[in-house]
Amino acid sequence: MLHLIQQALRAGVVALGLGFGTWAGAASDGLPPMEVQKVGKDVYFVQGQSGAASSANAGFISNAGAVATGEGLVVFDTLGTPALGAKMRQLIEAASGEKVKILVVSHYHADHFYGIQSFAGPGVEIIAHPTSVVVFKGDNTTRRLEQRRQDLFPWVSDDTHLILASRMARITPTQNETFKLGRYHFTLIDGLGAHAPDDMMMRVEELGVLFTGDLFFTGRVPFVGDADPKLWLKGLQRMTETPPKVAIPGHGAVSYAPEKDIELTRRYLSYLSEQMAEAVANMQSFEEAYEAIDWSEFKDLPAFSLANRLNAVGAYLNAEKDALKQK
């Protein structure tokens, strides 16, 4: 029955002119409002909404951006559905007067790359982290697509196709890749798997702009989950090897004071890691430790109430793993 309902809804979507290839530029596309922001010279940015991905918001919860080079656009991420990707592409190409030439994928999480089919095609090179091959072919990617087809229908459906990058970035934990297009040099930086196994950042050298993916959030608590805070701190070090003037995160607002905002993230992760390691060393239960910790420096930050407890659980489990390794 569900399949029949979905077929009927899909037919309605096509009849309204919202099928793949016609979503961008439709007079009434059913998508949330999308605005292209100009971030200094030649940099364009689309900011997603806060909250979880749903059919109501069409999965528009992440950021993406592009740089106009004079010889084509270098795009960073594609948003969370083909419809969003198509709309973003139309708006940024119209705003810049240039066509997409290169697409860089920050990491293969659904909210950042499901718009990829609206960018793939002749003349567009797609670049991702070398580890993305394993991530892309993994069971988690398959399961997430099936889940998204249910939860984000009709924006993610049987017509949604996930696409692997046409080439892997020439990066390692200690080596960056720099390429040139038009008037700018772009540096691809390994995120060390701090947030996802295939994290990658992109710096625009002449502009001092850094696209960070999900390794950094402006003025708020990050969603660390089960990632290792110590590894994340190393990722932040990679981010600041050449201090950026502007940082564009995977979610939330652009940072025009990245040194200050990155330092806030660094303090939070250091504190989280140290407190959980101390709790494990003292053989405290998680609940006992969490209630005893003084969170006052961070408790008023945006997303603290949503993220901190989950972050602490992940840090505690990582501290337990570290303790076992030392035995």
pLDDT in tens, 214-255: 999 999 999 898 889 999 999 999 999 999 999 999 999 999
- Predicted local distance difference test score (pLDDT) of residue 326: 83
CB 99 within 8 A of CB 124: no
How far is Cα 200 from Cα 212, in angstroms, rounded to an integer? 8
Of 251, 222, 313, nearest to 51 (Cα)? 251
- Predicted local distance difference test score (pLDDT) of residue 24: 36
With bands split at pLDDT 50, 70 and 90, how would you rate the model's confidence at 2?
very low
* 78-93: pLDDT as tens digits: 999 999 999 999 999 9
What the block records as the tokens of 292 is: 């005893």
Among 5-9, 111-115, 226-230, the range scoring the smallest mean pLDDT is 5-9
How many residues does the structure list for the chain? Answer: 327
How far is Cα 119 from Cα 275, in angstroms, rounded to an integer? 44
Structural domains of the chain sorted by starting position, each given as residue range(s) with its CATH number in brackets: 32-215 (3.60.15.30), 219-244+258-327 (no CATH)
For tokens 């939330």, what's the residue?
Answer: 252
CB 21 within 8 A of CB 89: no
What the block records as the tokens of 310 is: 């989950």
- pTM for the model stands at 0.88
DSSP class of residue 211?
Answer: E
